[in-house]
Amino acid sequence: MHTADTVEAVKAPAIQVVEERKPDPDRAILESLRHTVYACSSVQRIHGGFLNATYRGSLIKPLQNGMRTVIIKHSEEKDSKAPQLTLSLTRCLTEQAILRGLGSTPSQQVQHKQITIQVPQLYQYLPDEHTQIFEDFSKNGTLHEFLTVGAGERIIASTAVALGEALGSWLSRFHAWSKTQVDTDLWSTVEQNSNGFDKNLRDFRINKLLAIQAQCKSEQLGHYAALMHSREFGRKDTIVHGDFSTRNILIQNPSSIDKEKNTSLAVIDWEACCLGDYTRDLAEIVADLYMQTILYGSQIAHSLIQGFISAYPPLDEEAAYRTVAQIGENFFYWNT
């Protein structure tokens, strides 16, 4: 009997699709803290920024002070999404150094009427991971949010003035300390940030200003840009916060701010701290508050400005000029 040849169908091997696993930043943060007293059961992303990620971590074990949460700030030098932007990691070393330095000074906490201004306590710095761990100010939002969502309009003008006075008093004490009582090591660390992170930031800002100048075809603006970012403009005899704005001021229990109850504010985000002209901090906060009225219709921002200016020591004519010039400069950077 003849049997026809049969050909069995050959099955193609199954194709396995292997998805590339993307790094899990939350898992990386949890792992970096696993062997510390700040080990967390979970973390929640609460803030972004230029090459930074900030989390609130839920501690596995409460701290000795009873706190059950911490703030975790992780920094990177570059981001694949913005390859043109590089920010030096000297900012991490400087931020932790200045917070430790402020811990034993009058600037650590300033009381004015019913308002307390303070800086956060740094718990630990992990240099290999470029990660800092801070105390958490619970039930808070930024002063920027407080003013822009309309909550600030419920407070009376005198309370707004007191808020401004507290900020002006705190900043004047910080500047006075930074001019006379900073040790050599801390000064050197801040100087490194001036030549690293702050230089990166100045380059970024001058490029933006020059782009605006090209659109406006203004020779005056071009001259101004070169002047403002030259080493010769102003003095470099003060440690400045470097980004003293309402976005970097936390207000605790904002619903309770009135004459009857105490309110705490915390000055955060010290990574732009550098050697500079003290009028830089003045200009940034005044420009910020002024823009609250322009962009968000805040009616109490002017009262805050009045209180702030009245509490900060008077400026001579030259310092007043530098402040006003930098206020104008800050308007160009508002959308960044």
The model's pLDDT over 222-250, given as tens digits with 9 standing for 90+, comes to: 777 676 666 555 567 899 999 999 999 99
Question: Can you spell out the DSSP letters for 26-62?
Answer: HHHHHHHHTTSTT-EEEEEEEE--TTEEEEEEEESS-
Beta-ladder partners of 131: 74, 126
**Alpha-carbon distance 149 to 152, whole Å?**
8
The pLDDT confidence band at residue 186, using thresholds 50, 70 and 90, is very high
- What letter represents residue 318's amino acid? E
C-alpha atoms less than 13 angstroms from C-alpha of 275 in its C-beta half-sphere:
17
The model's pLDDT over 147-165, given as tens digits with 9 standing for 90+, comes to: 887 655 678 888 889 999 9
Give φ, ψ of 245 to 5 degrees.
Answer: -130, 170
Q: Are 133 and 70 in contact (CB under 8 A)?
A: yes
The model's pLDDT over 8-27, given as tens digits with 9 standing for 90+, comes to: 555 555 555 555 555 677 88
Beta-ladder partners of 229: none
The counts of H helices and E strands in the chain are: 10, 12
Q: Are 118 and 109 in contact (CB under 8 A)?
A: yes
The pLDDT confidence band at residue 336, using thresholds 50, 70 and 90, is very low
Mean pLDDT of 124-136: 93
* Residue whose entry in the numeric block shows the structure tokens 């992303």: 45
Measured in whole angstroms, the distance separating CA 182 from the mean position of its chain's CA atoms is: 22
Q: What domains can be seen in the chain, in order of their start residue?
A: 86-120+137-333 (3.90.1200.10)
**Alpha-carbon distance 106 to 118, whole Å?**
10
Cα–Cα distances in Å, from 103 out to 3, 13, 254? 95, 66, 25
Give φ, ψ of 299 to 5 degrees.
Answer: -90, -15
The pLDDT confidence band at residue 85, using thresholds 50, 70 and 90, is confident
- For residues 61 and 330, the model is more confident at 61
Closest CA to 336 of 199, 205, 213: 205
Does residue 204 come out as left (phi exceeding 0), alpha (psi in the -120 to 50 range) or beta?
alpha
**Alpha-carbon distance 115 to 264, whole Å?**
6
| DSSP symbol at 17 | P
**Alpha-carbon distance 67 to 157, whole Å?**
35
C-alpha atoms less than 13 angstroms from C-alpha of 168 in its C-beta half-sphere:
21
Q: Tell me, what's the pLDDT at 159? A: 87
Q: Tell me, what's the pLDDT at 322? A: 86
Closest CA to 41 of 50, 49, 51, 31: 31
Beta-ladder partners of 74: 53, 131
Sorted by sequence, the CB contacts under 8 Å of residue 327 that are 6+ apart come out as: 283, 286, 287, 290
Sorted by sequence, the CB contacts under 8 Å of residue 237 that are 6+ apart come out as: 179, 275
Question: Can you spell out the DSSP letters for 245-259?
Answer: SGGGEEEESGGG-BT
